[in-house]
Amino acid sequence: MSTHSTGQNRITDADLAKTALAAGDPTGWFEQLYTAAEKGEAVIPWARNEPNPELAAWAAAHPGDGRRALVVGSAFGDDPEVLAAAGYATTGFDVAATAVAAAQRRFPDSAVDYRVADLLAPPPEWHHAFDLVVEIINVQAMPRDVRPKAIASVAGFLAPGGTALVCEVAEESVDTAGGPPWPLTRAEVESFAQDGVRLVSIEPIRDNTRWWAEFTR
């Protein structure tokens, strides 16, 4: 996920992550990266300007009909917007305030409730509160020691009868020496099934470079 530097002074996600992690801060570098990108000093490597294609296909086949959806790590808003368009009452949250503000600027008439919140310390009222929970390539950007907490939060959001969709980079598909992503093993993906959450399906996608998994409670 490291940025492809186009200039010698470019700030990279790998550098920021390394410094933040050394200081014991697993997520502080995201705000730094978004801030640097707004100044033209960095590139956001995951910015696609379009929703995740597997999520878009899933949403087209599963209309929301007003059900509640939560998008973890909402970044610039493409994924929450596709769910809102499919009829979900959608909340998108990100730990980086600059990303949340950028999503709100991009979609000024949005029905999405954008929030600044931390997956590692989420609002208690989100517990078991969402019929659809979407976790796409966020946990893989967190160091392994905080992963169990992040995964427990995701599982905790899911309401009875709901669906959680999880997509992460698969282990051994990338060189992790330079920084994030830190891919997940199949067992790590399966570990979202906890606290009453059950695995429905898991499959490798995109030539085995990613996991796509569905869960229910």
Sites of contact with ligand SAM (CB under 6 A): 27, 30, 46, 52, 73, 75, 93-96, 99, 118-120, 136-138, 141
Nearest CB to ligand SAM, comparing residues 131 and 135: 135
Taking CB atoms, the residue at the shortest distance from ligand SAM is 73
Nearest CB to ligand SAM, comparing residues 111 and 120: 120
Cβ of 115: how many Cβ atoms within 10 Å?
A: 15
32: left (phi over 0), alpha (psi -120 to 50) or beta: alpha
Of 69, 199, 200, 217, nearest in space to 132 by CA: 69
Nearest CB to ligand SAM, comparing residues 157 and 215: 157
Smallest gap, in angstroms, from Cβ of residue 116 to ligand SAM? 8
Smallest gap, in angstroms, from Cβ of residue 74 to ligand SAM? 7
Nearest CB to ligand SAM, comparing residues 16 and 89: 16
Nearest CB to ligand SAM, comparing residues 165 and 197: 165
Task: Tell me how far apart the alpha carbons of residues 133 and 30 are, in angstroms, rounded to a whole number.
Answer: 21
**Residues 6 or more apart in contact with residue 64 via CB below 8 angstroms:** 83, 86, 87, 88, 89, 90, 132
Nearest CB to ligand SAM, comparing residues 133 and 198: 133
Dump strand ranges (E) for 110-197.
113-116, 130-136, 158-169
Smallest gap, in angstroms, from Cβ of residue 205 to ligand SAM? 14
Inter-CA distances, 75 with 92, 141, 154, 195, 198, Å: 9, 13, 17, 27, 27
Are the CB atoms for 117 and 161 separated by under 8 Å?
no
Burial of 70 from C-beta contacts in 10 A (0-12 / 13-18 / 19+): buried
Are the CB atoms for 161 and 131 separated by under 8 Å?
yes
Smallest gap, in angstroms, from Cβ of residue 203 to ligand SAM? 18
Which two structure tokens, joined as six digits, stand for 146? 């905080």
Smallest gap, in angstroms, from Cβ of residue 29 to ligand SAM? 9
